[in-house]
Amino acid sequence: MYQRKIPIDYSCGLSIAMEVVGSKWKFCILDEISKGATRPRDLVKEINGISKRVLQNQLKELEMHDLLGKIVYSEVPLRVEYYLTPAGETLMPLIAAVNKWGEGYAPRLKEILEGEPTTVPV
């Protein structure tokens, strides 16, 4: 199993939050699930650039942290649906805020990454 090098600082909200949702994908996953993409297959399809394997890991962690729940339908082929737990729901306003911030920041990032092509390249 995974062993932390340093113990969690329960007194620091940021540490806690980063421990639980501080990864590149979790907000996206929670967001997509809230929008109705409840099955792993759909999530892989909807989330830009995530692989099946990484998704599975993230889902497992989110479930372990009680942010996601899971229903297994014993059908053939197998069907599984994830849903937001009450704890997961509490993240939605945060995710919305982060999303909004990102939208506002987008032009700046674009400028930074693509530079100012003031002169037309030959």
Partner DNA sequence: CAGGATCCGTCCGGATACTG
Partner DNA sequence: CAGTATCCGGACGGATCCTG
Residue 11 CB, nearest distance to a second copy (Å)? Answer: 8
Based on CB atoms, which residue is closest to DNA, 54 or 95?
Answer: 54
Nearest to 24 by CA among 46, 54, 60, 4: 54
Q: What track of x and - describes contact with a second copy for positions 62 through 101 (by CB under 8 A)?
A: --xxx--------------------x--xx-xxx-xxxxx
**Does position 36 bind a second copy by CB under 8 A?**
no
Based on CB atoms, which residue is closest to a second copy, 2 or 73?
Answer: 2
Q: Is residue 29 exposed (0-12), middle (13-18) or buried (19+ Cβ within 10 Å)?
A: buried
Say what the alpha-carbon torsion angle 86, 87, 92, 95 is, to the nearest 10 degrees. -160
Token pair listed for 67: 């942010």
**Cβ(79)–Cβ(39) under 8 Å?**
yes
Phi, psi of 108 (to 5 degrees): -65, -45
Enumerate binding residues for a second copy (CB under 8 A). Answer: 5-6, 8-10, 12-20, 22-25, 27-28, 31, 48-49, 64-66, 87, 90-91, 93-95, 97-106, 108-110, 112-113
Residues that bind DNA (CB under 7 A): 2, 39-42, 51-54, 56-57, 59-60, 70, 72, 77-80
